[in-house]
Structure 1
């Protein structure tokens, strides 16, 4: 399939494209030769670079991330304590099996709220000071905060309905 597209592009060269080829070759100061697999040997020349107009790419879309990882104490203060939105803080560890189950389910519950709540992830192995400060003695621990104040918390796994109601209660308070 790729060879057919390559051959089609070679056959659809216009006169202007062929006329531009010597200019391009003289600017690279090297010779080109064909290999048996219909590719340029040296230097690599992209056929699309010779076309006069390439289709424009779609404009970038900006989406708000559902969750973010905490980098340090200052990052925690800026993004969690000083947040205008309510924030769920997921204290987890890489070695914790239940944390790997709860994390995606919690992100899904937060995503259902469509930007009304943020979710921070704190790895307790990297940020033991934050875990001690907020009384995390087991993982996974989820703490709900609004305006820097702890509103609610739970430890361990919960099913999807319980997570949805936990998140909805945080927004309703």
Structure 2
């Protein structure tokens, strides 16, 4: 999981809002079945897209303020940020090809 960052209230501004690269944030929880299916896919994409997009996770149970701030109603929610703004959101489990397509769209590849 070396390429996956853990985002929280303490590092959110620096790691997500001020990032030079686009950022994919996986809002998840340990008890969420679909989140457990998406997790390994997100980790794989982080390794394959290193240098193109930063990818990290937010545990919504531990970071309820962030989940509320971005209106996270269902998980997994995969939110893409660029230049400090959310530019795309995907709710629910997605396959690797769908997520790679979204990464390519956001990163301009």
TM-score by length of 2: 0.92
Cα 1:89/1:69, change in 2 over 3 Å: same
Which of 80, 87, 95 is matched with 2:16 structurally?
80
Counterpart secondary structure, 2:20: coil
- Does residue 112 of structure 1 match 2:30? no
Cα 1:114/1:120, change in 2 over 3 Å: closer
- Unaligned ranges ≥5, structure 2: none
Considering Cα pairs closer than 8 Å and 6+ residues apart, tell me whether 1 or 2 has the greater RCO: 2
Distance in 2, matches of 1:108 and 1:168, equals 15
- Unaligned ranges ≥5, structure 1: 1-64
**1:94-133 superposed matches below 5 A:** 94-133=30-69
Q: Deviations over 1:21-47 (max 9, x none)?
A: xxxxxxxxxxxxxxxxxxxxxxxxxxx
**1:30-41 superposed matches below 5 A:** none
Which of 63, 66, 80 is matched with 1:144 structurally?
80
Q: Quote the RMSD (CA, aligned, Å).
A: 1.3
Q: Which residue of 2 aligns with 1:154?
A: 90
- Where is the helix percentage greater, Structure 1 or Structure 2? 1
Larger Rg: 1
Cα 1:169/1:110, change in 2 over 3 Å: farther
Counterpart secondary structure, 1:74: coil
- Where is the strand percentage greater, Structure 1 or Structure 2? 2
Q: Deviations over 1:87-139 (max 9, x none)?
A: 00100001001101101102212322232110121000000010011010010
How many pairs does the alignment contain?
A: 108
